[in-house]
């Protein structure tokens, strides 16, 4: 049995969704974020030293990193390439690999920085420090984080204008991997998100396997 250590409002939701798409049975061990710090609890650190989610237990091993987990599950449970590129389609294979790694390597960093600086603006601190902290956060957003976020979202928007899905015109695990940053963008950077991205998010939310994963994982609110 596959066991998924799942933290609410986290990247591990993608692993539950993939397992539902693959039709593989699994067990979910749920963890809740600290309501004040929004960090994972100590119990998750007891599972793996990084204290991050997802952690997947399979065949007596513990796997971390969403992209690596997705690759391992697809290699093991998708022999007919229903969710992965056909071996003889080089274009699809390269696009699949690119988006599988782009999601965390390029798309997530500006979104994460945006979240960090947003929290810095509203964090409790002495009144005489607030203007300085807010000034730093605003300049970082205006000069670096904001432009980077716009660049990436515009790039994704153009790509989704050429393809219905990311690897090709059919749904693959690459779409599952990149779903998290795009769902976060729709909530946290709504004014920068174009119609193609919004339609992509609507399409994935309509998939039955996505809905089953939500039932298994519990509340999933990226606005927090």
What ranges do the domains of the chain cover?
2-83+211-217, 90-207
| CATH placement of domain 2-83+211-217 | 3.40.30.10
Contacts 24+ apart (CB under 8 A), 123-127: none
Tokens of 190: 């709504």
Of 170, 172, 156, the C-alpha closest to 17 is 172
Give the C-alpha distances (Å, rounded to integers) separating 155 from 42, 109, 159, 206: 38, 15, 6, 24
Question: Residue 127 burial by CB count (10 A; 0-12/13-18/19+): exposed, middle or buried?
Answer: exposed
DSSP structure class, residue 28: E
pTM: 0.91
Mean pLDDT over each residue of the chain, to the nearest integer: 90
CATH 3.40.50.720 for domain 90-207, yes or no, is no
- DSSP states of 72-107 as a string? HHHHHH-TT-SSS--TT-HHHHHHHHHHHHHIIIII
Which pLDDT score, from 0 to 100, does residue 131 have?
72
Ranges in the chain, pLDDT < 50: 224
Asked if the domains 2-83+211-217 and 90-207 are classified in one and the same CATH topology, the answer is no
Tell me how far apart the alpha carbons of residues 66 and 14 are, in angstroms, rounded to a whole number.
8
Q: What is the pLDDT of residues 159-200, one digit of tens each?
A: 999 999 999 899 999 999 999 999 999 998 899 999 999 999
Query: Is the CB of residue 100 less than 8 Å from the CB of residue 106?
Result: no
Backbone torsions φ then ψ of 52, nearest 5 degrees:
-115, 165
Question: Cα–Cα distances in Å, from 143 out to 107, 108, 138, 139?
Answer: 18, 18, 8, 6
């Amino acid at each position: 049995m596959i066991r998924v250590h799942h933290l609410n409002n986290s990247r591990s939701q993608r692993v539950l969704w993939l397992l539902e798409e693959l039709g593989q049975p699994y067990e979910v061990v749920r963890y809740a974020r600290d309501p004040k710090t929004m960090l994972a609890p100590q119990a998750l650190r007891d599972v793996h030293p990084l204290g991050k989610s997802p952690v997947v237990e399979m065949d007596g091993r513990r796997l971390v990193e969403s992209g690596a987990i997705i690759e391992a599950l697809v290699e093991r449970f998708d022999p007919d390439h229903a969710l992965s590129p056909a071996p003889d389609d080089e274009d699809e294979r390269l696009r699949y690999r690119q988006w599988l790694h782009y999601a965390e390597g390029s798309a997530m960093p500006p979104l994460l920085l945006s979240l960090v600086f947003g929290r810095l603006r509203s964090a409790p601190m002495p009144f005489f420090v607030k203007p300085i902290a807010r000034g730093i956060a605003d300049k970082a957003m205006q000069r670096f984080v904001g432009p980077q976020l716009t660049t990436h979202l515009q790039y994704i928007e153009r790509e989704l204008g050429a393809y219905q899905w990311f690897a090709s015109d059919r749904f693959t695990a690459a779409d599952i991997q990149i779903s998290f940053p795009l769902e976060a963008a729709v909530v946290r950077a709504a004014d920068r998100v174009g119609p193609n991205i919004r339609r992509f998010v609507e399409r994935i939310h309509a998939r039955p396997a996505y809905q089953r994963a939500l039932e298994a994982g519990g509340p999933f609110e990226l606005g927090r």
